[in-house]
Amino acid sequence: MNDSHYCPHTPEEIAEMLSVIGVASVEDLFAPIPAALRAKTFNIPPGMSEFETYGRMQAIAGENGQGITNFIGGGFYDHIIPAVIDHLSGRAEFYTAYTPYQPECSQGTLQALFEYQTAICRLTGLGVSNASLYDGGTACAEAAMMALRVTGRNKILVDGCVSPFSRQVLKTYLFNQDVEIIEIAPLAGMLGRDGLTSLLDDSVAAVLVQNPNFFGTIEDFTALADQVHGAGALLIGSVYPISLGILKSPGEMGIDIAVGDGQSLGNPLSFGGPSFGFIAAKKTFIRNMPGRIVGETVDRNGTRGYVLTLQAREQHIKRHKATSNICSNQGLCALRGLIFLSAIGKEGLADMAGLNRDKSEYAKSQLVKIPGVTVLQAAVTFNEFTLVLPKNADGVVAGLLEKGIAAGVPLGRYYEGLENCLVVTVTEKRTRKEIDLFAKELEVALCN
């Protein structure tokens, strides 16, 4: 509290302000905060000019490992972002994260969000989408709550191959509700289907799976969807949108609710955010969808227009009927996703997905040549796969980072007994030269 930069006011001015609000000292303002949690000093530096601030921010950004070759995935991916996305999303007509309530002055934003919903429906093969969510993790939780509302049941079965980050968000969302979450242990990077079948009964509201999953494995859940529906439950699928350029869509598999993170659709990594979450579902569930839904209509003159539809703003405060009130919903990031999908088109998305898979397969073929290195999965993968190393993956990753290679995600942090496993991601940005260098440096690291 005594730091010279804490406050620009004189002691007399401070005393006068404290007397006005009836507090004896500045320290009394912080009395509700336990002493152990209080900062000893705020240590706020003197103010800087705009030019000085910009230079300081550039210096800080320069400490973020410039020139590192990225093989990390696990939900956030280093994809190409066409220049048109920054150009269009930065226009004043679009530059907002908020879903507008007043259609008479927001037709441009509403139409963009309507087109976004259309793109997500086409991508997932499902009938309805909302105007985006916060991120992929919260989208999983919102889908689970949808299933609870639709079925009136209180149990969620979760494949242990679903991202550990999404599973943690789901547990946080449902912590204070009378809901049981049961995780199914993975089997060699795939869903333990026998374990799931034994738990599927008339108390289960939904089964949550991911494709490709956190290990990188691709699975076809068509038969599982029939099994889940036979038990009266819903199947929720978390998907990687780029992979849908070549993989079977959630709708084709019979999945009821599809969710995912839209970061890979034209949004930069940016220290992990912001991004957007998408959610799509069969049309019969539209009344239970969270957040905002934009609809197309006509005015009294027959002119086409766009409005928020199917749920009133006040609906969200009626707890017995409420869905989640997602309003500041990363709309700008969702717009970037729409521009991305529109710019590359259906064939472009397929080509991009194909590049991801082909480059990943090349990397896999080179890495398994290293003595002692194997691939965990016996199944097909997309652009991620799990390596089994002859030593602890954490130490290997740390050593390769010093060589300018971000080698992947060590699984021991999230799965007991998999300390030697490493999830490697290869996107269209990685070159043959970079992959070959990775293989060379990994072999050296494992020999040391």
Q: Which residue has the tokens 């049309």?
A: 283
List own/partner pairs for 304-307 with CB under 8 A and 24 or more apart.
305/103, 305/107, 306/103, 306/107, 306/110, 306/111, 306/113, 306/114, 307/103, 307/110
Q: How far is CA 223 from CA 228, 230, 276, 305, in A?
A: 9, 11, 30, 41
Radius of gyration of the chain (CA): 25
Backbone φ and ψ of 410, nearest 5°: -70, 130
Q: Which two tokens stand for residue 343?
A: 């710019």
Q: Which two tokens stand for residue 37?
A: 């949690």
pLDDT of 43 reads 76
What do you get for the CA distance between the two ends of the chain, in Å? 50
Q: Are 392 and 426 in contact (CB under 8 A)?
A: no
What are the residue ranges of helices labelled H in 268-423? 331-367, 393-401
Question: CA 324 to CA 379: how far, in whole Å?
Answer: 37
Please choose, from the candidates 241, 267, 235, 284, the residue with its C-alpha nearest in 3D space to the C-alpha of residue 124: 241
Q: Which two tokens stand for residue 311?
A: 């749920």
Strands (E), 112-230: 128-129, 155-159, 180-184, 204-211
**Cβ count near 50 (within 10 Å):** 7
pTM of the model as a whole: 0.86
Question: CA 96 to CA 242: how far, in whole Å?
Answer: 25
pLDDT of 442 reads 97
Question: CA 170 to CA 277: how far, in whole Å?
Answer: 14
Q: How far is CA 367 from CA 97, 328, 372, 399, in A?
A: 42, 44, 10, 17
Q: What is the DSSP letter of 122?
A: H
Q: Which burial class, exposed, middle or buried, applies to 300 when counting CB atoms under 10 A from its CB (0-12, 13-18, 19+)?
A: exposed
Q: Classify strands 234-239 and 204-211 as parallel, antiparallel or unpaired.
A: parallel
Length of the chain: 448
Question: CA 32 to CA 7: how far, in whole Å?
Answer: 21
Question: CA 254 to CA 219: how far, in whole Å?
Answer: 13
pLDDT of 314 reads 57
| Residues in Cβ contact with 335 at an 8 Å cutoff, skipping those fewer than 6 apart | 89, 94, 112, 113, 116
Three-state DSSP state, 243: helix
Backbone φ and ψ of 44, nearest 5°: -85, 125
Can you spell out the DSSP letters for 260-280?
EE-TTTT---GGG----EEEE
The number of angstroms, rounded, from the C-alpha of 231 to the middle of its chain's C-alpha atoms is 29
Could you give all domains of the chain from N- to C-terminal order, each with its CATH number? 11-47 (no CATH), 69-79+348-447 (3.90.1150.10), 83-340 (3.40.640.10)
| Residues in Cβ contact with 167 at an 8 Å cutoff, skipping those fewer than 6 apart | 140, 158, 183
pLDDT of 5 reads 44
pLDDT of 29 reads 86
pLDDT in tens, the chain (448 residues): 444 444 567 888 888 999 999 988 888 888 889 988 887 777 777 888 999 999 998 888 877 766 889 999 999 999 999 999 999 998 887 877 676 777 888 888 899 999 999 999 999 999 999 999 999 999 999 999 999 999 999 999 999 999 999 999 999 999 999 999 999 999 989 999 998 999 999 999 999 999 999 999 999 999 999 999 999 999 999 999 999 999 999 999 999 999 999 999 999 998 777 899 999 999 999 999 998 899 999 989 999 999 988 876 655 556 666 677 776 678 899 999 999 999 999 999 999 999 999 999 999 999 999 999 999 977 899 999 999 999 999 999 999 999 999 999 999 999 999 999 999 999 999 999 999 999 999 999 999 8
| Residues in Cβ contact with 169 at an 8 Å cutoff, skipping those fewer than 6 apart | 137, 138, 140, 141
The number of angstroms, rounded, from the C-alpha of 442 to the middle of its chain's C-alpha atoms is 29
Question: CA 249 to CA 246: how far, in whole Å?
Answer: 9
| Residues in Cβ contact with 268 at an 8 Å cutoff, skipping those fewer than 6 apart | 81
